Amino acid sequence: MRLEALLADITTLEVDAIVNAANTSLLGGGGVDGAIHRAAGPKLLEACRKLHGCPTGQVKATPGFRLPAKFVFHAVGPVWSDGTQDEDVLLASCYRRSLKLAFEHECASIAFPAISTGVYHFPLERAANIAVRTVREALAATPAASLEKVVFCCFNTQAETIYQALLNSL
Ligand code: AR6
């Protein structure tokens, strides 16, 4: 089992599933969401419309259409407020539920962006800690799962440094 930090545009990754940092409408937006919709093409929006939105902390799957990835798991991260609005729990839930979908779809590889750390302003280091810890725990609890590789896709070197340090610490 490999956990790795990679400096990349998530839309270019050849993995079975990429995770989107979506909003509750699932109808697209800016940031990584906009990039994924542009790269996947208009059929992604069509598929998203049929999902009728998604609550915060939950995740819904679509095909990847024109993306190299077979699936997109649309996760709705929390908007950072002050840390007292269940932000940590809701963010952890995005990672846990994405991995559950990966198990259900028998994915061998999955890539996550740093959910909520852009427009939603979740502090990056705190979010990365939750991401790595939640993924480690979920994988340890599901030893027979199909997953061979989990990528933490970093969009800048600051994120890469933070994730790399976390992955090296154990
Ligand atoms: N590949 C990988 N990571 C990326 C990419 C990319 N192509 N583009 C941005 N990031 P954000 P959020 C990183 O704002 O905070 C949208 O409008 C970025 O550097 O995309 O969860 C949605 O529709 C940051 O670390 O998502 C929602 O309304 C991380 O992805 C809202 O933004 C997440 O930043 C969600 O906000």
Predicted-complex ipTM score: 0.99
pLDDT band at 143 (very low <50, low <70, confident <90, very high): confident
Query: Which residue, judged by its Cα, is nearest atom 24 of ligand 1?
Result: 118
Q: Other CB atoms closer than 10 Å to residue 122's CB: what's the count? A: 26
pLDDT digits (tens, 9 = 90+) for 40-85: 999 999 999 999 999 999 999 999 999 999 999 999 999 999 999 9
What is the model's pTM?
Answer: 0.98
Total domain count, the chain: 1
pLDDT digits (tens, 9 = 90+) for 5-17: 999 999 999 999 9
Among candidates 96, 97, 156, 150, which has minimal Cα distance to 124? 156
Tell the burial category of 42 from Cβ atoms under 10 Å away from its Cβ (0-12, 13-18, 19+). Answer: exposed
Domain that holds residue 129: 2-168
CA 2 to chain centre: 16
DSSP string, 21-52: EE-TT-S--SHHHHHHHHHH-HHHHHHHHTTT
CATH of the domain at 87: 3.40.220.10
pLDDT band at 146 (very low <50, low <70, confident <90, very high): confident
Q: What mean pLDDT value characterizes the chain?
A: 97
Ligand 1 pocket residues where CB is under 6 Å: 9-11, 21-23, 29-33, 35, 77, 113-120, 153, 155, 159
| Residue at token pair 């779809």 | 105
